[in-house]
Amino acid sequence: MSRKEIVLLVSRAFALLLISWAFVEVTYLPERLFALSHHLSQSSVLVANDYWSRYYSIITLFLVLRMLALFVAAALFWSCGPRVEALFSPQQENREASG
């Protein structure tokens, strides 16, 4: 097995780990949306900044951002471009200079 094939295998395995992690985050989304909708429906006109509504808005927003970041990172590692290859396998010149 060549070094390039090993790097591709490790990169895709890491991408699968990131995809699994992102799908675990997806399972939290219904709970967060339900809690957010509950607190938004309970908000009063007299209270401009309801703590719990803002709290669940922030939590939901960061959950969605985290899921998107994980899916984007998984796509980058799955394609295994030159930057990912350089990350997992340093150039041959660097090895000879340091060794």
In a structure prediction context, what are the per-residue pLDDT tens digits for the chain, which is 99 residues long? 888 888 889 999 999 999 999 999 999 999 999 999 998 888 776 666 788 889 999 999 999 999 999 999 999 999 988 888 888 777 765 555 555
- Whole-number pLDDT of residue 97: 55
Among residues 67, 74, 81, the alpha carbon closest in space to that of 4 is found at: 81
What pLDDT shows up at residue 84?
84
Domain of 89 in residue numbering reads as: 3-98
* pTM above threshold 0.85: no
Number of domains the chain is built from: 1
Q: Fill in the amino acid letter for 21.
A: W
User: What are the b/e assignments for 24-50, b being 16+ CB within 10 Å?
Assistant: ebeeeeeebeebbeebeeeeeeeeeee
